[in-house]
Chains A and B, each alone.
Chain A
């Protein structure tokens, strides 16, 4: 069996391969803290440390949503951050892959829905992939990115087929 370290390295190579296949280029991610405890945010940060270093494989965390293919959202969306999340979502470029990171983002976590918290990112914007964990380990976040790429590939294939079918019908 492979050691944990080797498995992590494999995971990152898979990530690079899949990004090439699906996107044909690198992946840019924008983070939105919608009311997390900061545990999830720190685990995202961990991905850029010299041990995980996913930047080396072509993933970058960018400053503007306009540069981002993917939004990683932590926290269950507080009342005070709802507007910021929606604005960021609207500003992000297509395909707006939203990955909900952590139990809070998935379903509100231990405190759920309150007067100040919506209890999950899915209540506010459409979510591609839910990554559970409190916080999810760095490997789980990478896995989440991979799942989002699968989903994107599938959706774009369906869309492509639909488009070509429509085209075919139009000809008659």
Chain B
């Protein structure tokens, strides 16, 4: 494998010729290509379009204290090689612009708007110049992720630059909804352009829960930042903490002990279980199927009580430590897990049988909210939503971490791309996770549950990743002096998937929006940060 990767990389270097200034390894799995900013779109498009790399994340960084420049990193994942290629470019602070990659590569759209808001690096020719992370009343010339911007500075509110899709025709009704919604759910503002009942266009104003987490993490000791990572999102808390810990461990070049890797995998699957079960129940709320809602909520609660019993926290916070895990399990707890899972499996099967044999439920779910494969590919959709549209990506299999290369598992894929397909993926994955947990418990190795970390060299960067219940989550980390964070970029599954929702709702009726939205089950907190 190593040899083929070397050959593959050197061929690529030849093909790109003098577009690439230098190429170097960053750890075993990542190659960094340094390019001039003018070459950025060509090189990125080549990697994405010709070489079929997936845009994994993109990070902007204020590195003026280190070498006088800003830096942009476009990371592509090459799943078949289990390798990443990062295209890096430096940007002169005197000319903080770069040619937009998003023109050719739609998935880069949000990332580039984000670096414009937070770092003041302007993508030239970008198709959508509106603000994204900071709303329109934030002063255009203040960029909080620049190092010279103090963390707690409150900027004055200015005349809003907010803009929504204008409609010429009188036949189009604009329906504004949110940010506060009727139920106990997260905030977002949706603006439907509807003709009668049918949705013509959806504009979404998000990032209401932007708390400035990435800025707040800068300068924070790594050990404390783990607690911050766990608090990026409530229901994917463990996935985030694992991704962060992996980034730290990769910089420190440590391998966690086998028992720790197994335990992480075990708890990650428990996280997937309580989420997927709850989400299947929640989708039922999209068409008022009360039995389903209650059963889903009840089984989810049973799973969360199990979490609390074995890990001490209903949302699995506090499980991870840097270098391993904090929580070990006893023989007795193993039995409790097996017993609870057997019960939940039986009950969940009943719920599923009921749901899938109910005409009205099936009618509402099938052919509703179709996300087409081309769209999913163009936007680099991940997780359940991708797999329901025929796009087979699962980072547990594609770039394995923890003990995912030790347990065999099947990754379900459906083609239809509708609400039903997304529910089916979750259902299949519930049974898959239960089977995985049984295997993991059976083959749990003995030994230590953590290893200590060496001091980390400053200004090294690495990534950690994790397939959260919502999909692939990437944490990009650069450490600073004295074991603190220099830059921390969290790219959650929702960040990749939100741009696909407006495409999936087009042509559906407005009353189906809550159902479609629930079937994507996007989480705002980790998208907004």
Contact = CB atoms under 8 A, between A and B. Distances in A.
Task: Answer yes or no: are A and B bound together in one complex.
Answer: yes
B300 A41 contact: no
A146 B149 CA distance: 43
A46 interface: yes
A51 B314 CA distance: 15
Q: How large is the interface on A (under 10, 10 to 19, 20 to 34, 35 or more residues)?
A: 35 or more
A33 B209 contact: yes
B313 to A, nearest CB: 9
A51 B184 contact: no
Centre residue among A32, A37, A63, A64 by max chain B CB count within 10 A: A37
B174 interface: no
A64 B181 CA distance: 9
A38 B216 contact: no
Given A35-B211, A84-B179, A117-B212, A51 B231 contact: no
A100 to B, nearest CB: 15
B151 A115 contact: yes
A16 interface: no
Contact of A39 (B187, B208, B215, B234): B234
Given A33-B209, A37-B232, A114 B152 contact: yes
Contact of B301 (A51, A110, A117): A51
Contacts of A112: 152, 216
Interface string A104-116: 0000011111111
Interface in B480-495: none
Given A33-B186, A38-B233, A115-B152, A51 B298 contact: yes
A40 interface: yes
A135 interface: yes
Interface in A98-135: 109-117, 134-135
A48 B297 CA distance: 9
A134 B210 contact: no
Given A75-B209, A115-B154, A117-B211, A110 B233 contact: no
A111 B228 contact: yes
Centre residue among B217, B233, B314, B317 by max chain A CB count within 10 A: B314
Nearest to A77: B211
Contact of A134 (B134, B149, B187, B231): B231
A38 B294 contact: no
Interface string A19-53: 00000000000011101111111111110111110
A134 B317 contact: yes
A115 B235 contact: no
Contacts of B300: 49
Contact of A88 (B180, B224, B526): B180
Nearest to B305: A51
Interface in A68-84: 75-76, 78-81, 84
Contact of A80 (B184, B210, B297, B314): B210
A36 B298 contact: no
B523 interface: yes
Nearest to B213: A111
15 contacts: A33-B186, A35-B210, A36-B186, A37-B526, A38-B523, A41-B185, A45-B184, A61-B184, A63-B182, A114-B151, A114-B211, A115-B149, A116-B212, A134-B317, A137-B314
Interface of B: 134-135, 138, 144, 149-155, 179-180, 182-187, 207-213, 215-217, 224, 227-228, 231-235, 237, 294, 297-298, 300-301, 304, 314-315, 317, 523-526
Given A39-B234, A41-B185, A116-B212, 10 more contacts: A35-B210, A36-B525, A49-B297, A64-B182, A80-B135, A81-B179, A111-B228, A115-B144, A115-B150, A115-B212
Please list the 9 inter-chain residue pairs (A to B) with the smallest Cβ-Cβ separation, ordered nearest first: A39-B234, A114-B212, A63-B182, A49-B297, A111-B216, A116-B212, A38-B234, A117-B211, A35-B209
